[in-house]
Amino acid sequence: MPTQNATLQGHSLIAGQATPGNGRTVNGFDPSTNETLEPTYSLIDESQLRQATAAAEEAFESFSTLDPQTHAAFLDGIADRIEAAGDEVVARAMLETGLPEARLRGELARTTGQLRLFSAVVRQGDHRGVRIDPAQPERTPLPRADIRQRKVPLGPVAVFGASNFPLAFSTAGGDTASALAAGCPVVFKAHNAHPGTSELVGRAITEAVNDAGLHPGVFSLIYGPGASIGQALVSDPAIQAVGFTGSRSAGTALMTTAAARPQPIPVYAEMSSINPVIFFEGALQGDLDGLAAAYITSVTGSSGQLCTSPGLVFVPTGEAGDNFLAAVSRALAPSAGQTMLTRGIADSWNAGVEALGSQDGVELVARGSDGPTENAPAPAVFGTEAATFLNNPVLHEEIFGAASLVVRYSSTEELVAAAQRLEGQLTATLHLTESDYGTAAGVLPVLERKVGRILANGWPTGVEVGHAMVHGGPFPATSNTRTTSVGTLAIERFLRPVAYQNIPEALRPAAIQDANPWKLNRRIDGTVVPAGENQ
């Protein structure tokens, strides 16, 4: 029998109003049993989509000019509302994703934490990028005009929910939080794999919009067919940027649509990454069982359904490497499969593993056991040689889930050649000791051109939300290598600079007024002047 949830309505939330769709319907599913979950969600059509985008356009002027204190309090209010609904949100997310409670509690905290982090960013105001070059009327041979610059929001933003993070990369996740912090209204396209979770969080945002007295078009949550409504959303002239986390095929389709518009817009898409991990000789002289256990934990955590899962590992040939692989086999043997997010994702993982294992020169190193539920396949680690890896593009493809490929290399030159052949990645990891620094120095410049984050003696899974984090990388890891989707720098994606030349003080926006009413740090004539100091 379908599982009931009396508090959910199954409708889109368009500018604060529950809006039944005019199209088809979908349900969530419990991936541990493939049981249908209630309620049934009605899908909107394109005319209803235009209601959401029109409302976002109407909301833009007032929302984009909020003072910092009101704006920051709104972001804090979203976090407060989500926390108040936390138990219900986590319970529903467990049903829709099969993820354990501890993982989802942590994700809930990350979601509210990054909202509050962006609240602090808004209060401080450095993202406004204020630069002032005062007039120099006496300069010769030509006087200099008064020129002032600030960054302004792009406009309404479309955000697509991710399958693997029902909270932190979903309705109130990093893309939504950073867009709202920039002053951009958001039209959020819910992922159909966790519609109830999206509705609960969408309600919290809607309530926070109302609490703050903002235009209701600041946020809309829509349910619709992924291809048609998603493409229509990106095509809509009101939308000025897109945030997306998902597959390469879906991301590139959105990029194509955005580029073909009469007014092309940026798509910030996080897509595929296999996150290479490189072991140097010195790193294999210590506790191999501990190192192998940490590797398997990183591969299998959340059933491997993390964009930073280490799907590719480079290990030197020779006795130390052989001993490490033996330790990997021991570590993986007792591991059981964990429930994957959907039956479709589990089927795709099985197909990917079958394709990898059937390649010439690839052998199975170790495999765990199937888990207790219908969509919990046994995790697997495969092995091959560097020459095979270099010449077979199939071995470079992401398998979304608990699978990894170990590549054996015999020389620094072979390792560098393999690194040069990599596609763009989110991360690269170096396991090394001081004795390996010389070798690593030769690989590091290659990795800098290939990845967004390089780490040493750790594991790429687990992404800190802070000011210095980069969660991005060259294509196909992301569609724009100059940005990040995690951390405070993510706000820059939804801003653009505007210069004001000889504009009278009475007409200047608050951020660039001489009086500095918002108490912003500013760069005046090239020198940073802290908030509170006179020009």
Q: What are the catalytic residues?
A: 270, 307
3 state SS of 183 = coil
3 state SS of 48 = helix
Q: What is d(CA 397, CA 248) in angstroms, rounded to the nearest whole number?
A: 11
Rg of the chain on CA atoms, in Å: 25
Peptide bond into 393 cis (omega under 30): no
Six token digits for residue 184? 């951009």
3 state SS of 175 = helix
The DSSP string of 83-145 is HHTHHHHHHHHHHHH---HHHHHHHHHHHHHHHHHHHHHHHH-GGG--EEE--BTT-SSSPBP
Q: What is d(CA 169, CA 518) in angstroms, rounded to the nearest whole number?
A: 31
Residues contacting residue 8 through CB under 8 Å, at least 6 positions apart: 38, 39, 92, 196, 199, 200
Please tell me the number of Cα atoms within 13 Å of 59 on its side-chain side.
29
Can you say how many angstroms the Cα of residue 494 is from the centroid of all Cα atoms in its chain? 15
Residue type, 523: R
Q: What is d(CA 405, CA 397) in angstroms, rounded to the nearest whole number?
A: 10
Q: For 336, which DSSP code? A: B
The dihedral sign for the CA sequence 286, 291, 292, 295: negative
Name the residue among 446, 14, 439, 489 with its Cα closest to residue 206: 14
The dihedral sign for the CA sequence 431, 433, 437, 439: negative
For residues 194 and 96, is the Cβ–Cβ distance under 8 A? yes
Three-state secondary structure string covering 395-454: HHCCCCCCEEEEEEECCHHHHHHHHHHCCCEEEEEEECCHHHHHHHHHHHHHHHCCEEEE
Q: Which residues pair with 187 in a beta bridge?
A: 158, 220
Q: What is d(CA 285, CA 324) in angstroms, rounded to the nearest whole number?
A: 10
Six token digits for residue 524? 């005046």
DSSP E strand boundaries for 284-333? 312-316
**Residue tagged 């539920």 (tokens):** 373
For residues 426 and 453, is the Cβ–Cβ distance under 8 A? yes
